[in-house]
Structure 1
Amino acid sequence: MTNHALFHTLHQLSRQLTNQLNEALKPLGLYSAQWSVIFVLHTKGSITQKELCEYLFVEAPPMTRTIQRLVKQGFVRQLPGKDKREKYIQLTEEAVKEFPKWEHAVFECNQTLLTNFPQSSQQELAKLQGLWLKELL
Structure 2
Amino acid sequence: MNYSNHNLLHLLNQSVRLMNQRMNEKLKEYDLYTSQWAIIYCLHKNGPMTLTDIWQYMNVEAPTVTRTVKRLEEKGWLSRKPGTDKRQRIVHIADNAKDEVSRLADIIRSYEDEQLFHLSTEEENQLRQLLEHITSNK
Looking at structure 2, the residues matched to 44 and 120 of structure 1 have their Cα atoms a distance apart, in angstroms, of 27
Alignment of 1:44-59 (within 5 A): 44-59=46-61
Looking at structure 1, the residues matched to 48 and 132 of structure 2 have their Cα atoms a distance apart, in angstroms, of 26
67, 70, 95: which one aligns with 2:69:
67
Structure 1 vs Structure 2: percent identity of aligned residues? 27
- Does 2:58 correspond to 1:30? no
Q: Which runs of 4+ in 1 moved over 3 A?
A: none
Q: CA RMSD in A?
A: 1.7
Deviation, 1:133, is: 3.1
Residues 23-62 of structure 1 show CA distances to partners (whole Å, capped at 9, x for unaligned) of 1111122211221111121222211001100001111122
Residues 51-75 of structure 1 show CA distances to partners (whole Å, capped at 9, x for unaligned) of 1000011111221221111111111
Alignment of 1:63-102 (within 5 A): 63-81=65-83, 82-84=85-87, 86-102=88-104
Gaps of 5+ in 2: none
Deviation, 1:124, is: 1.5
9, 12, 15: which one aligns with 1:10:
12
Q: Which moved more, 1:13-22 or 1:123-132?
A: 123-132
Gaps of 5+ in 1: none
Tell me the residue number matched to 1:129.
131
Structure 1 SS opposite 2:90: strand
Residues 54-111 of structure 1 show CA distances to partners (whole Å, capped at 9, x for unaligned) of 0011111221221111111111111234243x32111111121212221122012112
Looking at structure 1, the residues matched to 113 and 132 of structure 2 have their Cα atoms a distance apart, in angstroms, of 21
Aligned residues: 133
Looking at structure 1, the residues matched to 105 and 47 of structure 2 have their Cα atoms a distance apart, in angstroms, of 16
Structure 1 SS opposite 2:108: helix
